[in-house]
Chain A
Amino acid sequence: MSDIQPTRRDLGLEAVQSAPVNNDGPVSFGKQMLGFWVTFQAMFKKPNTVQYPEVKEPTAPRFHGRHQLNRHPDGLEKCIGCELCAWACPADAIYVEGESNTEENRMSPGERYGKVYQINYLRCVFCGLCIEACPTRALTMTNEYELADDSRESLIYEKMDLLAPLQQGMLMPPHPMYPDMNDTNYYKGEVPGSHPSQEVAHD
């Protein structure tokens, strides 16, 4: 048995003897079988394995999955481009640029909307601080977890990828606000859905 020779004697290291390996000859068959006990036990248990992707188990209801940018019931975006999500993000995964709403181009109630909204899923750690920071409940997390992809570009989600789909009664912005309602009414959830007067022809 050779000693282990240190490469840096100048640091004061000394040679040590390697530990001896105990080899007391072959063990008995019974002892060997005992070693497989856990394996045998598992053979009679119900398997935990899920046949993903053929079978998909639902996640816990509050699982932190991909983000979603929500809409008001009439289709206007809830996001006001305030960047508080980006501010809260510990991984610097969110990039937002705000812009003014105008009468011709209204994307959200109030003065401001998010013109650029990007989440970089290469950086996101799904901690959920962003959705806690969101003052308008625009940003929430879905249960979607299938976020693998093969390029960096495709893992930076743009606003279009994150926006919630239009549901019954919603109109695609830009369009005007619900008649006789202001941004406060929107935030209080007093807008029932879209109004015929909000329909504007899109070129």
Chain B
Amino acid sequence: MSAEVVDMITVVIDGFEITVPKGTLVIRAAEKLGIQIPRFCDHPLLEPVGACRQCLVDIEINGRAFPKPQASCTIPVETGMIVKTQLTSAVAKKAQEGVMELLLMNHPLDCPVCDKGGECPLQNQAMSTGRSESRFTGVKRTFEKPIHISTQVLLDRERCVLCARCTRFSDQIAGDPFITLNERGALQQVGIYENQPFESYFSGNTVQICPVGALTGASYRFRARPFDLVSTPSACEHCASGCSLRTDVRRGKTLRRLAGDDAEVNEEWNCDKGRWAFVYTNAHDRLTEPMIRDASGELRPASWPEALAVAAAGLAGKTAAVLTGGRVSVEDAYGYSKFARVSLNTNDIDFRSRISSVEEDEFLATKTLTLKTSYRDIDRADSVLLVAFEPEEESPIVFLRINKQVHKRSLKVTAIASKLSIGNEKLKSNFICVAPGLEAQAVANQELTAKSVILVGERASESVGLLSAVVALAEKTGAKIAWIPRRSGERGAIAAGAIGQLLPGGRLVSDAAARVDVAAVWGVATLPTALGRNAKEIISSVNEGKIGALVVGGIDPLDSEDHQATLAALKKAFVVSLEIRPSAVTQLADVVLPVAVVSEKSGSFLNWEGRARAFDAAVADSLQRSDLRILSMISDQMKKPINLSTVKAAAKEFATLASWDGASSTFTSCAPIAQKKLSAHEALLTSWRRLLDEGTLQQGEENLAGTARKSVVVISPKRASAIGVVDGDKVRVSNEHGAIVLPVLVEMIHDDAVWLPRNSRGSHLLATFGVASGAVVTVVKD
């Protein structure tokens, strides 16, 4: 990184000199001196607007004073500037008090019922820099309250101080200009467009940055006061973006989550899923005690010693495999990895509970851990190429980061996909429309430079040859690759070796030196040498009788391509399930062991950059144990201990194994396939998961589900006229396994393709079709 030369300017604020870079706003320079100028509209990540006028200060430049106090949030520092804030200037102090009095004139005195009460900038600044008494005796302006601007955001217009933070956020950061300021004068108010609710994936941020209680979240409304809550810095478990969060807990129950402040990752934002989808942690059906299947085939509650004994006895002497699921923390993944090798003596472990391919196995084993791309690279990129990746739906903070650069400097974004998504429209992407399965050719034709970034999603495994094409393109042009999975635990699971070909730290199972190295740390004589099977092979091996037992973490059989086979395998094998709530796996498991959710344990995730996102237990006195602790107890029972009883111990041991400069393998590329022949009513399926859908971790939050995008079938205008449908007509999409009937939306999509949401209401592709992309389906009018 080259050091940029910045002009520095020295100004005097309240008699103190400070030198700041040119372009710094006066209010920011004052902050550096520790001088707090009151403000409402000013936000460091939004463009200055000067809407609230609360930050008035006296300014003179080279002896010439401004005739009136000026808004310090809009004026950049200049040479020779002398600033007097409310601390040294009676004029500035009086001006601020006057503005505060005017703001409070129409502000209702309903602090006792307002959610912001106790953490309200207006309350605090009225106390610190306002007049002690109001001279206003008239009747306050009132509005109907509250109005739902979406199912999860409520608006009390009479509390609003018209700072325009929410509208500026929606416009500049999220790119969803669904809210705006209407009317003029005293009646000016925040409003939504008619028939268009505030259905942004980032609407929760407006609630967080609202400096008064005008925008509140429906889920947290009237639930608690700031002094009731115990706040813990934490990390988001939903996607691989790796947002830092603040989790607020009242009496052992998570009541809300706020975006944490991390300039390198999520800045100060997060998505609505990360903010509101935590109700599952408080679900009434959480598993609290171990269960074992008795002789009659029914699950019955058991004590921990009994359940552990049954689990250990069932696993001992059988060929066993481990499926961890993609949502494990690094420490838990490390526990699974060590448990598989040490206690089960196998490399058959896979974290993927999604569609995968042999090509992806290869890519993950050889490439992923060497990728060093970060959010900063997106900031500096000359162009971004999106391959099998919809940032807004699959990693929303990546979307915000790209959008920021698009907004700031018109960053060139190219998307290779079969359907133009809403997110790509917002990014003004150069959309390269290809038939599903033929992305590889389009990737090969891209012109990139060494400053370009290729963002490739986990769905790349669904298109043969695509990952190979991406690797080849990067090698040809020098562009950086970032592999961005959807789930938060996948990158960490690779690093921890929860995959068949790798031991912790990217050591190859096939490398004898690496095995010796790991065996020494683990204190065992040898490690299994056979390459591990992937999830698909593990399932088929169980069904063929080659594997007799499974240790299963958080997976949903309906996420696999052939869920019938997965369910059959779970039925056939001896299954130890580590779960938080009853699921399709626990129904078939022989031993069910309850585990802690993310708010009940400490640990860390690796986000797509490979950056550790550590979190602490937010619920301090939870009785739930982490996966790691339970695996350690089973291994003790099996007399093949992994000796990892605490997260700290696992983190420490993993740190000693985290890097490896020994042998690594090279990527073998894979040739793309030819296009399939289609008849008139046939189409190639393409799909992705939406951010807000019917995912397990979003269950129970109705307000959030209310802002999910509607389920539709998307077809091209050509196909629409061929089958004679217009927007809103019902269309039937089917293959030999099942059919889905949904309203149609005619949009920009490849003529050979049909798009459906992968796991939304009324559209569960893997469960219905057994495929999610690239397969031939029939599309007819219903």
Chain A residues in contact with chain B, CB under 8 A? Answer: 80-84, 86-87, 97-100, 110-112, 135-136
* Distance, CA A135 to CA B224, complexed state (A): 17
* Distance, CA A81 to CA B118, complexed state (A): 14
**Residues of chain B lying within 8 A (CB to CB) of residue A87:** 118, 225, 227
Is A81 in contact with B222, judged by CB distance below 8 angstroms? Answer: yes
**Residues of chain A lying within 8 A (CB to CB) of residue B225:** 83, 86-87
Is B17's beta carbon under 8 Å from chain A? no
Is B228 in contact with A83, judged by CB distance below 8 angstroms? Answer: yes
Q: Which of B112, B117, B223 contacts A97 (CB 8 A)?
A: B223
- Chain B, 223-263, contact with A by CB distance < 8 Å: what is the 0/1 string? 11101100000000000000000000000000000000000
Is B525's beta carbon under 8 Å from chain A? no
Could you give 6 example pairs across A and B, Cβ below 8 Å?
A81-B222, A83-B225, A97-B223, A98-B113, A111-B145, A112-B113
**Residues of chain A lying within 8 A (CB to CB) of residue B117:** 82
Is B112 in contact with A80, judged by CB distance below 8 angstroms? Answer: yes
**Residues of chain B lying within 8 A (CB to CB) of residue A86:** 225, 228
* Distance, CA A81 to CA B112, complexed state (A): 8
Question: Given the interface contacts A81-B222, A97-B223, A98-B222, does A111 sit within 8 Å of B228 by beta carbon?
Answer: no
Is B648's beta carbon under 8 Å from chain A? no
* Distance, CA A83 to CA B111, complexed state (A): 11
Q: In the complex, which residue of chain B has the Cβ closest to the Cβ of A112?
A: B113
Chain B residues in contact with chain A, CB under 8 A? Answer: 112-113, 117-118, 145-146, 221-225, 227-228
Is B223 in contact with A111, judged by CB distance below 8 angstroms? Answer: no
Is A110 in contact with B228, judged by CB distance below 8 angstroms? Answer: no
A112 to B: closest C-beta gap in Å: 5
Is B223 in contact with A82, judged by CB distance below 8 angstroms? Answer: no
**Residues of chain B lying within 8 A (CB to CB) of residue A81:** 222
* Distance, CA A111 to CA B222, complexed state (A): 9
Q: In the complex, which residue of chain A has the Cβ closest to the Cβ of B228?
A: A83
Is B113 in contact with A110, judged by CB distance below 8 angstroms? Answer: yes
Which of A83, A97, A99 has its CB near the most chain B CB atoms (within 10 A)? A83
* Distance, CA A86 to CA B222, complexed state (A): 15
* Distance, CA A110 to CA B112, complexed state (A): 12
B154 to A: closest C-beta gap in Å: 10
**Residues of chain A lying within 8 A (CB to CB) of residue B146:** 111
Is B227 in contact with A100, judged by CB distance below 8 angstroms? Answer: no
Is A82 in contact with B113, judged by CB distance below 8 angstroms? Answer: yes
Q: Which of A99, A100, A135 contacts B112 (CB 8 A)?
A: A135
A102 to B: closest C-beta gap in Å: 12
Which of B146, B221, B222 has its CB near the most chain A CB atoms (within 10 A)? B222
Is B222 in contact with A99, judged by CB distance below 8 angstroms? Answer: yes
**Residues of chain B lying within 8 A (CB to CB) of residue A97:** 223-224
* Distance, CA A97 to CA B117, complexed state (A): 15
**Residues of chain A lying within 8 A (CB to CB) of residue B221:** 100
Which of B117, B118, B224, B225 has its CB near the most chain A CB atoms (within 10 A)? B225
B116 to A: closest C-beta gap in Å: 12
**Residues of chain A lying within 8 A (CB to CB) of residue B112:** 80, 82, 84, 135-136
Q: In the complex, which residue of chain B has the Cβ closest to the Cβ of A113?
A: B222
* Distance, CA A98 to CA B221, complexed state (A): 9
A89 to B: closest C-beta gap in Å: 11
Q: In the complex, which residue of chain B has the Cβ closest to the Cβ of A81?
A: B222
Is A98 in contact with B227, judged by CB distance below 8 angstroms? Answer: no
Q: In the complex, which residue of chain A has the Cβ closest to the Cβ of B225?
A: A83
A30 to B: closest C-beta gap in Å: 68
B246 to A: closest C-beta gap in Å: 20
* Distance, CA A83 to CA B118, complexed state (A): 11
* Distance, CA A135 to CA B111, complexed state (A): 10
Q: In the complex, which residue of chain B has the Cβ closest to the Cβ of A108?
A: B113
A172 to B: closest C-beta gap in Å: 22
Is A111 in contact with B227, judged by CB distance below 8 angstroms? Answer: no
Q: Closest 6 A-B residue pairs measured CB to CB?
A: A82-B112, A98-B222, A112-B113, A135-B112, A83-B225, A112-B222
* Distance, CA A82 to CA B113, complexed state (A): 6
Q: In the complex, which residue of chain B has the Cβ closest to the Cβ of A184?
A: B142
**Residues of chain B lying within 8 A (CB to CB) of residue A99:** 222
B224 to A: closest C-beta gap in Å: 8
**Residues of chain B lying within 8 A (CB to CB) of residue A98:** 113, 222-223
**Residues of chain B lying within 8 A (CB to CB) of residue A82:** 112-113, 117
**Residues of chain B lying within 8 A (CB to CB) of residue A111:** 113, 145-146, 222
* Distance, CA A115 to CA B112, complexed state (A): 15
* Distance, CA A167 to CA B754, complexed state (A): 68
**Residues of chain B lying within 8 A (CB to CB) of residue A83:** 224-225, 228
* Distance, CA A84 to CA B223, complexed state (A): 14
Q: Which of B118, B222, B228 contacts A100 (CB 8 A)?
A: B222
**Residues of chain B lying within 8 A (CB to CB) of residue A100:** 221-222
Which of B113, B117, B221, B227 has its CB near the most chain A CB atoms (within 10 A)? B113
Q: In the complex, which residue of chain A has the Cβ closest to the Cβ of B112?
A: A82
* Distance, CA A86 to CA B221, complexed state (A): 18
Q: In the complex, which residue of chain B has the Cβ closest to the Cβ of A99?
A: B222
* Distance, CA A112 to CA B216, complexed state (A): 14
* Distance, CA A100 to CA B145, complexed state (A): 13
* Distance, CA A128 to CA B223, complexed state (A): 25
B113 to A: closest C-beta gap in Å: 5
* Distance, CA A80 to CA B113, complexed state (A): 7
**Residues of chain A lying within 8 A (CB to CB) of residue B223:** 97-98
Q: In the complex, which residue of chain B has the Cβ closest to the Cβ of A87?
A: B227
**Residues of chain B lying within 8 A (CB to CB) of residue A135:** 112
* Distance, CA A97 to CA B253, complexed state (A): 13
B248 to A: closest C-beta gap in Å: 15
* Distance, CA A176 to CA B223, complexed state (A): 23
A95 to B: closest C-beta gap in Å: 9
Q: In the complex, which residue of chain A has the Cβ closest to the Cβ of B221?
A: A100
A118 to B: closest C-beta gap in Å: 12
B230 to A: closest C-beta gap in Å: 14
Beyond A80-B113, A100-B222, A112-B113, 16 additional pairs, beta carbon < 8 A: A80-B112, A81-B222, A82-B113, A83-B224, A83-B225, A86-B225, A86-B228, A87-B118, A87-B225, A97-B223, A98-B113, A98-B223, A110-B113, A111-B113, A111-B222, A135-B112
**Residues of chain A lying within 8 A (CB to CB) of residue B224:** 83, 97
* Distance, CA A81 to CA B113, complexed state (A): 8
